[in-house]
Structure 1
């Protein structure tokens, strides 16, 4: 796995550090961020996603809250060929 650091929350204190990385082999994002609060998870479950799809969060998944300021680090597929552009 080849990871590329994309960014960390600006002005982050030493022990509070939402961070985002790109897996350059798969294009997946790895995100370290705040755990969603139980009421946020419940709200996500109430909204749902695809009709008929379970709203349970499996043990191998979680819901994280990504601060809005971190959106600047999410790569855009601007070149139209499905590749994540390198920065």
Structure 2
């Protein structure tokens, strides 16, 4: 049975108070990072990146704002608050999309 991911929320762009957000997550079991950000589609930027690190068909380049440097460092150091939530239970702006609360209540691993 494949393990269902349980990601730790580290933080969102501090300059973005709305529900739109670049954000950072960590898999506490593997230490892997997950970055949510704007998908880079600018062909010049992609060509530049591809010249040093080939972008495979299964990969995407995302952009995170410089204002998130501290959040990224917290993820890298492991100094972020474990179990942190952006939205408290029952406060999610899109309740139907709050899979985390449903899984935590069901304690599915």
| Fold shared per TM-score above 0.5 | yes
Matched, 1:76 2:80: no
> Greater Rg, structure 1 or structure 2?
2
Q: Name the TM-score, length of structure 2 as normaliser.
A: 0.57
Choose from 34, 54, 73 the match for 1:30. 34
Instruction: Tell me the C-alpha RMSD between the 2 structures.
Output: 2.0
| Conservation of the 8 A alpha-carbon contact between 2:15 and 2:67 | no
Gaps of 5+ in 2: 82-109
Q: Name the TM-score, length of structure 1 as normaliser.
A: 0.69
CA distance in 1, matches of 2:80, 2:24: 15
Number of residues paired by the alignment? 74
Deviating above 6 A after TM superposition, structure 1's stretches of 4 or more consecutive aligned residues are none
Matched, 1:19 2:14: no
Q: Which has the higher strand share?
A: 1
Structure with larger RCO (C-alpha < 8 A, sep 6+): 2
